[in-house]
Structure 1
Amino acid sequence: MTSQNTKKLSNPFSTGGGGAHFEAHIQASFVVLMLTDGYAPCFPFSPIKKIKLQGKVDGFDTDDLIVFVGDEAKSVEKKMIAQIKHSIAITQRDHIFGEVIHSAWNDFNNPKLFTRREDAIALITGPISKTDMHNVQWLLAQARNTADADEFYRYVDKANFSPPKSSEKLEAFRYHLKNANGGIDISDKELYAFLQDFYLLGYDLGHEEGVILPLLHSHIAQLNQKDVHLIWSRVVEFVQTKNQYAATITINNLPEDLKEIREKLEKPSAKHMPKDLEMVEHHELEIVDWNQHKAASHLASVNFIGAWNETNQSDISILEQVIEDDYADWVTEAREILQETETPLRLNNGLWQITERLALFGELGSRIFDQHLDIFKTIATSVLTERDPLFELPSSERYLASVQGKVPPHSRQLRKGIAEGLAILGNHAGALTNCSQHKAESTALLTLRDIFTAADWVLWGSLNDLLPTLSEAAPDEFLSIVEHALYASPSPFDELFNQEDTGILAPRNYLTGLFWALEGLAWEEKHLVRVCVILGKLAQKDKRRQSGNSSANSLSTILLAWLPQTLASIDKRKVSVQTLCKEAPDAGWELLIGLLPTQHQTSFGSHKPVWRNVIPDDWKEEVSGQDYWELVTFYAELAVSIAQDDTSKLAEIIEHFDHLPKPAFDQLQNILSSESILALTEEERLPLWENLTVFTLRHRQYSDAKWSLSDELLIPLEETATKLAPAAPLHRNKLLFSSRDNDLFEEKGDWQKQREKLIKRRQDAVEEILDQDGLEALFGFAQEVQKSWDVGYALGSISAGKEIDTALLPEHLSKNDDKSDNFVRGFVWGRHQINGWSWADDFEKTDWSAEQKGIFLACLPFLQSTWKRASTWLEGDDGHYWKITGANPYQSDGPLDIAIDKLLDFERPHAAIDCLDKMRHSKQEINSDQVFRALFDALSQPKELRSMDGYHIRELIRLLQENSEVSLDDLSRIEWNYLPLLEFQGDTAPRTLEKRLSMAPEFFCEVVHLIYRSDKEKTAPKEASTEKRAMASNAWRLLNGWRYVPGLQDDGSFDANQFTNWLERIQEISKQTGHLKVTLIQVGHVLIHCPPDPSGLWIHTVVADALNQYDADPMRRGYSTSAYNARDVHWVDPAGKPELELAEQYRQKAEDIENAGYQRFAVTLRDLAKGYERESERIRGEHETEE
């Protein structure tokens, strides 16, 4: 997010961004566990009862996720507070890890929020290094399984017992805990206690080969095996919506569709009547014949749409068209039907649904005539051609569509029901005995045709969720429609790929429904080839190349050899792949690579047809070994055959050599050693040799691994690599500078030694090229490899003559940040590492320009010695250095204040902030004037925030707040502009602004006026500008977090006169401006934090008296609202006891207040008590209904 100009009182920074997708999926995983009665990590055998998102509002510093578990029988509740970081390093230098530990330490030491040895603190991460995971998990396990701290440290200190890096990782914890503890060392026992409650949970969500997502899908499959993907996506979408409101999620407040899915899990297992009771006299239940029911005709018509929302007038209008009658008459009949024992209707919160639609369709089919089908066709076409207003918003704002009223006129349930009605018509026409022959099937087909006749990308996107159902209505017609759109110019799918949401929430793909529709049709052999070609064409249009829902993933899922998602024969599957490779070669090649053994070891299955009975009931997802090897061998041999005439494909398939079945393995080896390949030029053979060399090196490096090839297979490949090896150094040495360092290590062992060996090999390579081909050739070589900096470093670190220096410098110094520039930077760094400053100082620079000197200095470490030379060499023109230096503060060996001033002088405030934070982190004295200047300057320079920028800024603001000598006006401006980054109730709350609200009535009123219109304004308001909306958002954020009651003093005492004077003044101002009502409501919000009275009354009498005044009703309403919303995170007790306890507390408070003489305020408190009583009744009722 970009920052605003300092003159604008707006929020210039945002804490949202990069990790939202990963965080939302982690949160969703816990919702799935709760939905399926699963258990939470850290708490074996403890079901999840409640999940709090964004716990900062409730005082938690570790705030991404709070998971509450409990044993209702024992009335025990525990919690796991979790921070979610997609990537992190468990090291002393990792600031993100430091931030996590700082927050965890705060919570660990807060007994109001955290109970030691009962609750848990978790760091949930994506993939992290094996070293970090292994060593840290070992430490945490030992902390929880040793008798005491002494035993724990004995184990850690035993080199033969503990992992090699365990002591180093333990010190990383100790280092950051010391910082979190105000720079004070923590004892061994405190560290031990902290580790006992700390958990590191690795989640591989988002990885095709991962474990977590399949496990979650397995949980979901307990509820619904057919729609696992759909349910998972629905949970993620629900969590994303709730996340923005920092909501608490329980089973009771899940959406109705998820509750319905859960019912399957909650049904009790079947129990059989004891034999001795079977002879007891009983009455048989009366079975209703719905075809003879007085409402049968209406019921038959309503079954076409399946569901409607009685609060939606558009739905009511559709229903009246279907039944050709007034809704009032029908709903009277419907309510009577609800009373029947085996009613086909269900009503829940205004949503009507027909259960068992297919059975009812068969029972009432004779009551449907051609006229009904014509009416339904008109209705379906009208409703399903509606364009979703969501697409009127930019993609980054679509998550706010419902908030902004951008929703379709008809309910989601009615739209879904109509689509299902079309699918029923297309597949179960036999029940309509009184309709013309084929009338039902043609109605479904022609309706689809009418819907998509002029469909653009907006309509396709609007129908996304319904496409799997619509495809079943008329499969051949649907495939023709898709093909027509696919080959249209422009194709609607091109734009839909571009429309994927990229806002602050997880991306949303508007083609998922199409992929699932095609997956569903692929189950039938007659559709398979056609579906595969369509998916291949779509894959070639899709440039995103992301995991998850994509046409490429659908293809591989359908055709997996070990779990095919089609009933087609093996021969037909082979034909499908061959046809795909012919018509969409790029997609075909990608598919073949993905179908090789071990490439997809996990599959969640594909979408299965719901309304078409194509999958036999006795079908099992089983594949014989013979069938599996026949298919994978075919896939592999086809891939090798295609690759033999394309060296780029041949190079790619070499990377999968060890995954090829024996026939394909031998086929590929023969091709690589064939005369036609050996006859290629060195440049053409180069990628083949490089990939084969890296492949054989990896197997040699890990020769003891189970997956490593035997010498019998490996030696011939190494011999082939030798034949392919280029003779020219310029070709042969490219590999050293084009692969990851680890891939080039020749053996396992000490990383540093291997790294030094690799540097020596690179130096030798550079010397060889230099001796044989010269410097110009080496310079060109650096342009062709990936690691041009390493080429330059190798050259700089060998003892080549000065002619190299003068040939490169200063001619090739530039600011282009390309490979040439990186090569020269690496060369300068290498020379400096070997020779020190003498080399740079002795270099003849008389003819160099100031710009060249600045670039040269920027290639050197960010040290005081470099800055001094910038001053002397550039003689007052040192901006050539300071404007471009990388300014890595961790290269510096001393104070950074000089560098900070320079960076600010040359308009680099963000680099200055990094340096200031380094000084803070190193406990160096910081100049507050520099902090102010850097923070103010940063507001005028838009910049994408990195993950640590917000943390750096908050910590610097906290330092300013702790300095009693800083300007309060300047500090107020800083807090206002960075308000979105500050945390109320935390170490970096906007303290100055909060106090100013409480002490300056004029400022408080000004903030209120930014949010609310005056009631004196008679004209319609103009649309607010972006700047005004930003200011209003900041003002709301400030008032919403305000806790500092006017009159409250720093020592905790309360100045009644100050409060009274403040209240009188804000009332006087608000009356004049027309804001009295909203102002008093805001005052009421903050008064819930009022301290008790010295007399013992639970609230100060002066405040109670103000709340009791006859004209203070808005203030009392504000107090009531804030009191109700201030309730702590809580587990929902099915008996409603906590609510009854709160009701009793407020009744007692009301009694005390009334006895003290404040009867009006007492009424408000009694209303609060009544509200909690009603909530208790509601909770008990819902629990009884579920049982």
Structure 2
Amino acid sequence: MSGKSKKLSNAFSTGSGGSHFEAHVQSSFVALLLSCGYAPCLPCWPISEIKLQGKVKDFDTDDLIVFVENQESKESRKLLGQIKHSISFTEGNSTLGEVIQAAWNDFNNPKIFTKGKDVICLITGPLSATDARNVVWLLDQARHTKSVEEFLAHVNQANFSPSKSAEKLGVIRFHLKAANNGVDVTDNVLYEFLNNFYLLGYDLGKEVGVVLSLLHSHIAQFNHKYPQWVWSRVVDIVQTWNQDAGTITQDKMPEDLIEAFKLPAVSHIPTDLTTPEIEATAIDWNQHHHATVLALANLIGGWDENNPDDVKVLESLSGEGYSSWVVKVREILNQPNSPLTLKNGIWKVASRVDLWHNLGPRIFDQNLDVLKDSVVTVFREKNPSFELPVDERYAASVHGKDLAFSPTIRKSLADSIAILGSYPDALLKASLGKAEATAVLAIREIFADADWKLWGSLNQLLPTLAEAAPGEFLVVVETALNQSPCPFDDLFAQEGTGVTGSNYLTGLLWALENLAWAEDYLVRTCALLGELACHDPGGNWANRPSNSISTILLPWFPQTAASVEKRKVTVQTLVNESPDIAWKLLVSLLPNQHQTTSGSHKPTWRQFIPTDWEDGVTKGEYREQVSFYAELAVNLASQHIDKLAELIDHFDDLPNTAFDQLLQVLSSKDIISRSEDEVLRLWERLSRFVQKHRRYSDAKWALKEELLSQIEAVGDKLAPSNPFNKYQYLFSHNDFDLYDDDGDDWREQERKLEERRQNAIREILDTGGLSAVVSFAQEVEHSGHVGHSLGGIADKSIDVSLLPDLLSEDKSKLAYFVGSYIWSRHHLQGWEWAESLDRTTWSVQQVANFLSCLRFCSETWQRVPDWLGENENMYWTKTNANPYQAKDDLEFAIKKLLGCGRPLAAIDCLFRMKYEKERLDVNLCVQALMDALSTSEPSKSMDAHHMVEISKTLQDDPKTPQKDLFKVEWAYLRLLDRYHKAEPKLLEHRLASEPEFFCEVIRLIYRSKKATEDEKDEVSEEQKAFASNAWRLLHHWGKPPGTQSDGSFDENSFIAWVERVKEICTESGHLEVAMLTAGEVLIHCPPDKNGLWINKEVANVLNAKDSDGLRRGFSTGTYNSRGVHWVDPSGKPEKELAAQYKKKAEDVENAGFHRFAVTLRAIAEGYEKESAWVIDRHKEEFPEE
């Protein structure tokens, strides 16, 4: 098996086309997961999880890992998917070689792949007819024949097999040989590999396609009205998770998606209702003797009677003490079909709008005044969590930083003020205009002089508050934008990342999206969003003001009920007030920029969306909008070179009138008369655009030659005559984009490209001399390419001119230029050229820099002491130390790198040696790892992986001194975890075998109960770091005391360990916490040899009278061992766990351990309560099911 492995890939860095296709394929599997569908090539078992970018979990076939599970046997299987939009089965196709290499690595890795059960899939877009026919036939034959002999006979039988099948089998053999370190694989291994390898064709990533149609049909079984929206939402989520190499399970999906995939509930009439029965008379709540009480309860909407601040609000509104008022509310609660509910002290009112209209006449001006004062009081409270650092706010409750009023009353009062503003006419006994005025005043007073903390505190409620008084809400937003400092600037600065991060502006964006549905508010709302976008510094969250504007005005799926004319006015207003934001908006509104959308936020209480509203637009409306936006974009760009350059890339997206308009602008006298330097970018963009479309002329998106000729004619008018400008594009783009055609022989393509580059450099050299080439290198994007090409045509005179002067450059374009020049000259001329250079006038640093530009190998190292003498460390400090350039003697280089303070480079070299299965020197490994802890050397993304692998080598080497391994494991404890597939073996063994060490770790974390107040000194940062490491060690510890080096369990050692810990910790004052911690790890104890599920000696210790701490720890460890899990609304998993622990309790009680049985029954009871809570919670959230 080869040790080669393709690099960890990120779909967002490999080109938009491929990543677009990849995201859609991944999304198709997520859609199957959500809809309880089945994965191809695997048994028809439910999909349990989907891993994106599996390289971080050591999969080489890493774009998609799909896990399925048999619900009865719990057997699991997986599909390893590699996604390539285009590929061809030829020997010269490097992409295919990469795919086969990855598949071969996984196929031979039993830790991640089970042959005959798991499958490896190459998922592609359209294949050539030859590949589609022959390769698929080969794979089918491999699975449908009984032996390799029959398979090969079928392949070689001309009248039976397709014409190219033998050739394509040879291609697969070729790439498997390359993957297997150049060693041919046997026929049996080839046959076995093909049996596990699948080729799937998906026509996704386009507007139409068979697979997309099937997915829409699949989704429509759950959501028949908006399958396209659901699909686009799935794609959006996958693209977000893909960036973080996330793992998708059904429970981790957003609630709206989970809801979208719920089957409509089918209800059957209960048997006791099948006989005629007199219906109960519906209650007219307005005639109830406590109607006024219910009206006031509805005015509030909901509250938590366990919260004293909520109770004060109730007392203020009701005008009486809560204890007497709630008696009347409880009486209503017990009426049939009561609109009130009570759960765990939380009251809620259902059907609030119906009650609002029915009981409205019972609300008077005084009630509204008290409501307004209460609302202002509640919503003026600032969230105490803002007193914490950004990365600790997620744990605000732990720090006691909670809002005074409950979430229930806050949401309910926000709804109250929105209902008040939306349905004022229902309050017949209130003064004329009182309801509307109350809502307006409430919003005005809530946001008076509001700082960022208040806006952030109200984030989740802003969409509702905006509906209370839309006009006033827009006023307070505009006022805030005009403040100095602007509170939204501070809110943008609070944006966090990762699991614990938050975005405190989503509520404001959703509020404005709500109001944009109304034609009266569209222009004003979008103008404010544009101004807000001007304040946006950018961030990781997708919710941004500019995205909200694009979503609202999307030509094919507008999120506003405003007319097309009003939308045009809105965009023109943005052009006038926020031109930079408007430009980005116009580009985003061009055709083909947004092909999916999840829509905008929609109002809850205001009737802004007409009842007959239908999503989408007519073809005429769409053409009218995109033509207007495109022409406006051309007008806006006409005087700006940078905007014109950007618009050129969208030539193929422009409607006819805008296309012609842009051609006219580019060929106008104003543009053509500008300097060559000024219009260079336009010419480069035009040339690149034409080249791209001609290269892929068969693609559906490619423009016709007639149009390309028109664009080319304009480009010719702008073409530079100065070679300095004419050839910059050759050195400013990726090589692939500069290839002449899409042939398979990439080496020939590279040769041709290098020839073009050398000719370009030769022409610059001829017209402007070497100084022009040097200036050219500083101007282009890739100065190294210039140096490389110059090295291919240079002579002695150029050597003298460049060297040694440019060797003094450091980390600049000229440094890369001269470095590539030296590499090229040495590659072509060898050491004879390097040694022929006259170095007599060179400084020592220049000599060191020269050597560092050469290959990192023994030939270079041998010359370092001769050329640098006692200054040879200058080379080792400077060299890039690429271990993959060296053929041997890396140990020599490692010692040198460590000697000059470069432990990270040394670790890279050690990893290369491990990769090549060379013997590693233990002492060098230890030194490199320990030196790396305090190095100032710049780190790289793979450093952590390399460190873990070197640590594992030390763990596996019996020659590693225990004291050194202890230091390494302690230092790298944070990396030795499940994520990195590593563990601190020595530390865990010492915890399990040395009670003194366990007690020492306990003392690092916890204070002694015997410590006096005077002894509780301030903790230093170093002590905090030690305590943090100790905590991490104990809470990931999984080997119970008594576990031996060979994994066996010794009862006597266990008993002795517990007794010694009790003795030491009783003396130090840490007994209670030590027993709790030890109890947690006892859940990992092995079963007894006589059949009891736990070792009897362990059970005996846990059963002892003085082992309450151990038993409580065992209970805690049991609950914590479940980890993060999907919550089944039926409560079935919890019921099963309860039954399991009841059985365990019965078993240990029968074995004589009754105290331990009490703990196990308590665990079972806990799971039973959790099951009941889950069921009740689900019924509360989904009462209609």
Counterparts of 2:338 and 2:1097 in 1: how far apart (Å)?
61
Counterparts of 1:482 and 1:870 in 2: how far apart (Å)?
67
- Segments of structure 1 that go 5 or more residues without pairing to the other structure are 1-14, 110-115
2:707 aligned with 1:713, yes or no?
yes
Give the equivalent residue in structure 1 for 2:1038.
Answer: 1043
Residue 575 of structure 1: CA displacement?
A: 1.9
Counterparts of 1:130 and 1:398 in 2: how far apart (Å)?
51
CA distance 1:248–1:218, change in 2 (3 Å)? closer
Residue 1181 of structure 1: CA displacement?
A: 8.1
Q: Secondary structure at the match of 1:1014?
A: coil
2:473 aligned with 1:468, yes or no?
no
Q: 2:416 aligns with which of 413, 421, 429?
A: 421
Give the equivalent residue in structure 1 for 2:676.
Answer: 682
Give the equivalent residue in structure 1 for 2:528.
Answer: 534
Q: 1:304 aligns with which of 288, 299, 306?
A: 299
Give the equivalent residue in structure 2 for 1:571.
Answer: 565
Counterparts of 1:51 and 1:30 in 2: how far apart (Å)?
11
Residue 1159 of structure 1: CA displacement?
A: 4.4
Give the equivalent residue in structure 2 for 1:8.
Answer: none
- Counterparts of residues 50-65 of structure 1 (less than 5 Å): none
Give the equivalent residue in structure 1 for 2:111.
Answer: 106
The answer to whether the 8 Å contact 2:139/2:195 transfers is: no
**Mean alpha-carbon deviation: is it higher for 316-325 or for 354-363?**
316-325
Q: 1:263-307 CA distances to partner (integer Å, 9 max, x unpaired)?
A: 994552477999xx9996431232121222233223222323323
Counterparts of 1:505 and 1:140 in 2: how far apart (Å)?
46
The answer to whether the 8 Å contact 2:300/2:409 transfers is: yes
Give the equivalent residue in structure 2 for 1:146.
Answer: 143
Matched positions, count: 1134
Amino acid at match of 2:830: G
Amino acid at match of 1:382: T
Amino acid at match of 1:493: F
- Segments of structure 2 that go 5 or more residues without pairing to the other structure are 1-7, 13-18, 86-93, 156-160
Give the equivalent residue in structure 1 for 2:91.
Answer: none
The answer to whether the 8 Å contact 1:46/1:69 transfers is: yes
Residue 1030 of structure 1: CA displacement?
A: 3.3
Q: 1:1126-1167 CA distances to partner (integer Å, 9 max, x unpaired)?
A: 469999889888777766765665566556554444544555
- Counterparts of residues 493-642 of structure 1 (less than 5 Å): 493-502=488-497, 504-505=498-499, 508-544=502-538, 548-642=542-636
Residue 667 of structure 1: CA displacement?
A: 1.6
Give the equivalent residue in structure 2 for 1:337.
Answer: 332
2:872 aligned with 1:878, yes or no?
yes
Give the equivalent residue in structure 1 for 2:685.
Answer: 691
2:731 aligned with 1:737, yes or no?
yes
CA distance 1:960–1:176, change in 2 (3 Å)? farther
Counterparts of 2:1110 and 2:285 in 1: how far apart (Å)?
58
Q: 1:604-663 CA distances to partner (integer Å, 9 max, x unpaired)?
A: 222222211121111112322222212211211121122222222222211111111111
The alignment yields a C-alpha RMSD, in angstroms, of: 5.1
- Counterparts of residues 1094-1133 of structure 1 (less than 5 Å): 1099-1123=1094-1118, 1125-1126=1120-1121
2:948 aligned with 1:961, yes or no?
no
Give the equivalent residue in structure 1 for 2:285.
Answer: 290
Give the equivalent residue in structure 2 for 1:988.
Answer: 982
CA distance 1:139–1:303, change in 2 (3 Å)? farther
Counterparts of 1:708 and 1:62 in 2: how far apart (Å)?
32
Counterparts of 1:123 and 1:989 in 2: how far apart (Å)?
33
Give the equivalent residue in structure 1 for 2:88.
Answer: none
CA distance 1:158–1:1027, change in 2 (3 Å)? farther
The answer to whether the 8 Å contact 1:1043/1:1089 transfers is: yes
Amino acid at match of 1:920: K
Give the equivalent residue in structure 2 for 1:1017.
Answer: 1011
CA distance 1:165–1:1040, change in 2 (3 Å)? farther
Residue 830 of structure 1: CA displacement?
A: 1.6
**Mean alpha-carbon deviation: is it higher for 812-821 or for 473-482?**
812-821
Residue 59 of structure 1: CA displacement?
A: 15
Residue 801 of structure 1: CA displacement?
A: 2.5
Q: 1:936 aligns with which of 919, 930, 952?
A: 930
- Counterparts of residues 650-661 of structure 1 (less than 5 Å): 650-661=644-655
Give the equivalent residue in structure 1 for 2:1025.
Answer: 1030
Counterparts of 2:760 and 2:828 in 1: how far apart (Å)?
18
Counterparts of 2:127 and 2:401 in 1: how far apart (Å)?
47
Amino acid at match of 1:632: V
CA distance 1:493–1:1161, change in 2 (3 Å)? closer
2:311 aligned with 1:316, yes or no?
yes
**Mean alpha-carbon deviation: is it higher for 1130-1139 or for 1152-1161?**
1130-1139
Give the equivalent residue in structure 2 for 1:393.
Answer: 388
Counterparts of 2:1049 and 2:273 in 1: how far apart (Å)?
76
Amino acid at match of 2:444: R
- Counterparts of residues 838-917 of structure 1 (less than 5 Å): 838-917=832-911
Counterparts of 2:140 and 2:931 in 1: how far apart (Å)?
47
Residue 103 of structure 1: CA displacement?
A: 11
- Counterparts of residues 61-76 of structure 1 (less than 5 Å): 75=72
Q: 1:509-564 CA distances to partner (integer Å, 9 max, x unpaired)?
A: 32222222222222222222222222222222223276722222222222222222
Give the equivalent residue in structure 2 for 1:113.
Answer: none
Amino acid at match of 2:265: P
Give the equivalent residue in structure 2 for 1:437.
Answer: 432
CA distance 1:341–1:1166, change in 2 (3 Å)? closer
Counterparts of 1:63 and 1:1036 in 2: how far apart (Å)?
34
**Mean alpha-carbon deviation: is it higher for 840-849 or for 1007-1016?**
1007-1016
Residue 391 of structure 1: CA displacement?
A: 2.5
Counterparts of 2:109 and 2:345 in 1: how far apart (Å)?
44
The answer to whether the 8 Å contact 1:90/1:97 transfers is: no
Give the equivalent residue in structure 2 for 1:1072.
Answer: 1067
Counterparts of 2:1152 and 2:867 in 1: how far apart (Å)?
81
Amino acid at match of 1:890: Y
Counterparts of 1:393 and 1:176 in 2: how far apart (Å)?
59
Counterparts of 1:1106 and 1:55 in 2: how far apart (Å)?
44
The answer to whether the 8 Å contact 1:1106/1:1112 transfers is: yes
Q: 2:663 aligns with which of 642, 646, 669?
A: 669
Higher RCO structure (Cα 8 Å, ≥6 apart): 1
Q: Secondary structure at the match of 2:871?
A: coil
CA distance 1:1044–1:638, change in 2 (3 Å)? closer
Residue 755 of structure 1: CA displacement?
A: 2.2
Q: Secondary structure at the match of 1:505?
A: coil
**Mean alpha-carbon deviation: is it higher for 30-39 or for 711-720?**
30-39
**Mean alpha-carbon deviation: is it higher for 309-318 or for 430-439?**
309-318
Counterparts of 1:319 and 1:351 in 2: how far apart (Å)?
13
Give the equivalent residue in structure 2 for 1:458.
Answer: 453
CA distance 1:59–1:1013, change in 2 (3 Å)? farther
Counterparts of 1:1080 and 1:200 in 2: how far apart (Å)?
58
TM (norm. structure 1) is 0.84
Q: Secondary structure at the match of 2:969?
A: helix
2:818 aligned with 1:813, yes or no?
no
**Mean alpha-carbon deviation: is it higher for 707-716 or for 1160-1169?**
1160-1169
Amino acid at match of 1:451: I
**Mean alpha-carbon deviation: is it higher for 1164-1173 or for 167-176?**
167-176
Amino acid at match of 1:636: A
Q: Secondary structure at the match of 1:982?
A: coil
Counterparts of 1:509 and 1:84 in 2: how far apart (Å)?
34
Counterparts of 1:673 and 1:854 in 2: how far apart (Å)?
53
Amino acid at match of 2:917: K
CA distance 1:33–1:1006, change in 2 (3 Å)? farther
Q: Secondary structure at the match of 1:981?
A: coil
Counterparts of 1:1018 and 1:459 in 2: how far apart (Å)?
42
Amino acid at match of 2:415: E
Sequence identity (%): 44
**Mean alpha-carbon deviation: is it higher for 1081-1090 or for 364-373?**
1081-1090
